[in-house]
Amino acid sequence: MTNSHVVSQMKKPANNDFPILDQLRDRWSPRAFSDRLVDDTVLGALFEAARWAPSCFNVQPWRFIIATSSHEPTYKQALSCLTEWNRNWACNAPLLLFVIAKTTYEDGSHNRHAYYDCGQAMTSLVTQATTLGLFVHQIGGILIEQVRETYNIPSEYDPICGAALGYIGPSSSLSEKLRKKESEPRARLDLSDLAYVGTWGNSALLVRKK
Amino acid sequence: MTNSHVVSQMKKPANNDFPILDQLRDRWSPRAFSDRLVDDTVLGALFEAARWAPSCFNVQPWRFIIATSSHEPTYKQALSCLTEWNRNWACNAPLLLFVIAKTTYEDGSHNRHAYYDCGQAMTSLVTQATTLGLFVHQIGGILIEQVRETYNIPSEYDPICGAALGYIGPSSSLSEKLRKKESEPRARLDLSDLAYVGTWGNSALLVRKK
């Protein structure tokens, strides 16, 4: 079996009840990446997508730190900020990034929307990535204080999470345990459990099949 | 001038340096909505899009409360949870919603990714909305405790923000002050200020024009 066959098996479209945008349906979080590099024009488009996300008072609290496998010192620096579990597979991705939130407004008061708005920017980035044939695996397991120290991050900014980003690769590159996880179907709560009307728990949607 | 002319003037695509997905470029946050209702199939697609967002440990901390103008009691209930400033324009939108985060994991410990992941789900919803010709104006100015009490929201869930959603309408429906805001160009930080490499503040991007 060639790699291209393996890669084609690794499509995992959402099992959606209503039709949705291809990019939202086809996005998933692989651990197997190819060594194909992400070029600067693609990189520009990813952050451009993040840039135009909405935010509370348009303060745009999102910042990103990136590292590419083509520059070993900064790539190793980024890898060292992941938990060991994540380091073991993320080391195959050509691009690592960290999402950082500015947690204060200009007057120093707390911005309770900062994390939320960073999530908005990151999903714009991920949707753009999917549009360009890339995959992103976001990583909650980062060493927060190590990120802060490594990159000299000011106190009013918080590292939220990391991400591995690149073109998908053959799952044969993974350990058996991760290979199994790679092929697990995507699972979500029922649509009827997500949106309520009138009072908590009162489902707003009559769910129909597409 | 007919309404359709006014509406066509109200396109505000991003002034992007790199090309991005149409839905990310064309999304903006209007205050003028038409009274056209959002049908149930569209509504289903919006929450379907949110549903397939990624989240830390796949806990899917996002919940939504919605109210449609076609059902006056629940619509008024939702409007009463906005600050007065936002109530004044959001009352024209056919759909109001609130984004609610489950802030704890199953074992009761704090989920520091909850707001971030709700932002991810909401941006998926907004991207789907844009795909279907709808616009969304998210609202930071909600009365948080009133949302909690009105909808009997459990203590481990936090109201994050609200949103007005619908088809765009003529800005002539707005006060002069809001009409001016409606036509202001969209502004963002420079791309070069968003992504760093190696250390804080060291721009990762050589910004080129598309």
Contact yes or no for B63 and A196 at CB 8 A: yes
Contact yes or no for A115 and B120 at CB 8 A: no
Contact yes or no for B44 and A204 at CB 8 A: no
How high is the pLDDT of residue B194?
96
Minimal Cα distance from B115: which residue of A?
A: A116
How high is the pLDDT of residue B17?
87
**Residues in chain A within 8 Å Cβ distance of B47:** 191, 194-195, 205
Q: N- to C-terminal Cα distance for chain B? A: 34
Q: DSSP character for B39?
A: P
The residues with which A65 forms a beta bridge, in sequence order, are A98, B196
How high is the pLDDT of residue A8?
44
Instruction: Kindly tell me the burial class for residue A23, based on how many C-beta atoms sit within 10 Å of its own C-beta (0-12, 13-18, 19 or more).
Output: buried
How high is the pLDDT of residue A7?
44
How high is the pLDDT of residue B173?
87
Who among B41, B65, B128 is closest to A196 (CB)? Answer: B65
The pLDDT-based confidence of A206 (bands split at 50, 70, 90) is low
Who among B20, B44, B205 is closest to A191 (CB)? Answer: B44
Minimal Cα distance from B203: which residue of A?
A: A65
Q: What is the mean pLDDT of residues A22-41?
A: 96
Q: Please give the model's pTM, rounded to 2 decimal places.
A: 0.94
Beta strand pairing call for B195-197 and B157-166: unpaired
Task: Give me the interface pTM, i.e. the ipTM.
Answer: 0.94
Q: What is the mean pLDDT of residues A74-103?
A: 97
**C-alpha span between A175 and B187 (Å, rounded):** 46
How high is the pLDDT of residue B206?
63
Q: What share of chain B is helix, strand, coil (3-state, %, to 5)?
A: 40, 20, 40
Contact yes or no for B122 and A116 at CB 8 A: yes
List CB contacts of A163: < 8 A, sequence separation 6 or more.
Answer: A96, A97, A98, A99, A122, A136, A137, A138, A139
Closest CA to A47 of B46, B197, B184, B128: B197
The pLDDT-based confidence of A42 (bands split at 50, 70, 90) is very high
Inform me whether the pLDDT recorded for A209 exceeds 60.
no
Q: What is the mean pLDDT of residues A110-129?
A: 98
Encoded tokens for B166: 């619908």
Instruction: Kindly tell me the burial class for residue B112, based on how many C-beta atoms sit within 10 Å of its own C-beta (0-12, 13-18, 19 or more).
Output: middle
How high is the pLDDT of residue B207?
57
Architecture of the domain spanning A29-185: 3-Layer(aba) Sandwich (3.40)
How high is the pLDDT of residue B85?
96
Class of CATH domain B3-193: alpha beta
H helix intervals, A80-156: 84-90, 114-131, 144-151
Average pLDDT of every residue of chain A: 93
Contact yes or no for A116 and B113 at CB 8 A: no
> Percent of chain A beyond pLDDT 90?
88
Q: Is the dihedral of CA B39, B42, B43, B44 positive or negative?
A: positive
Sheet with B157-166: list strands edge to edge: A195-197, B62-68, B95-102, B157-166, B135-139
Closest CA to A71 of A46, A106, A114, A37: A37
Who among B99, B123, B188 is closest to A123 (CB)? Answer: B123
Contact yes or no for A64 and B123 at CB 8 A: no
What is the amino acid identity at position B131? T
**C-alpha span between B104 and B127 (Å, rounded):** 27
List CB contacts of A109: < 8 A, sequence separation 6 or more.
Answer: none
Contact yes or no for B115 and A120 at CB 8 A: no
Q: How far is A1 from chain B (nearest CA, A)?
A: 30
List CB contacts of A95: < 8 A, sequence separation 6 or more.
Answer: A38, A43, A66, A67, A68, A69, A164, A165, A166
Contact yes or no for B128 and A20 at CB 8 A: yes
Minimal Cα distance from A55: which residue of B?
A: B138
Encoded tokens for A131: 């549009």
Minimal Cα distance from B102: which residue of A?
A: A194
CA angle, A85 then A91 then A95, to 5°: 125
Q: What is the mean pLDDT of each run of 10 residues along chain B (210 residues)?
A: 44 90 97 96 96 98 97 97 97 97 98 98 98 98 98 98 97 92 93 95 71
Which sequence spans correspond to the domains of chain A?
Answer: 29-185
A with B: how many residue pairs have Cβ under 8 Å apart?
247
Each residue of A122-177: pLDDT tens digit?
Answer: 999 999 999 999 999 999 999 999 999 999 999 999 999 999 999 999 999 899 99
